[in-house]
Structure 1
Amino acid sequence: MNIEQVILGFIYGEAMTGYELKKRFDESVAHFFGATFSGIYPALRRMEREELIEKEVVVQEGKPSKNIVRITEKGRQSFADYLKSPLSPGVQKSDLLVRYFFGRYAAAGQIQGWLLEERARLAHTREGLLHMRQEALKDPDSDAFRLKTLEMGIAQIEFSLRWIDEELTKQSGGGSGAQEKPGR
Structure 2
Amino acid sequence: MAPDKPFSQACENNKQPILDRIRNTFTAPGTILEIGTGTGQHAVHFASALPHLVWQPSDRPGATAHCRARIREAALDNLRLPVELDVASGIWPGDSIDGAYSANTAHIMAWEEVEAMFAGLAKRMRTGMPFCLYGPFSYGAKHTSDSNRQFDRHLRMQAPHMGIRDMDDLLKLAEQTGFRLESDHEMPANNRLLVWRKL
Common fold: TM-score over 0.5: no
* TM-score bracket for the superposition, by shorter chain length: under 0.3
Give the greater-gyration-radius structure (CA).
Answer: 1
Structure with higher strand content? 2
Q: TM-score, normalised by structure 2?
A: 0.26
Structure with higher helix content? 1
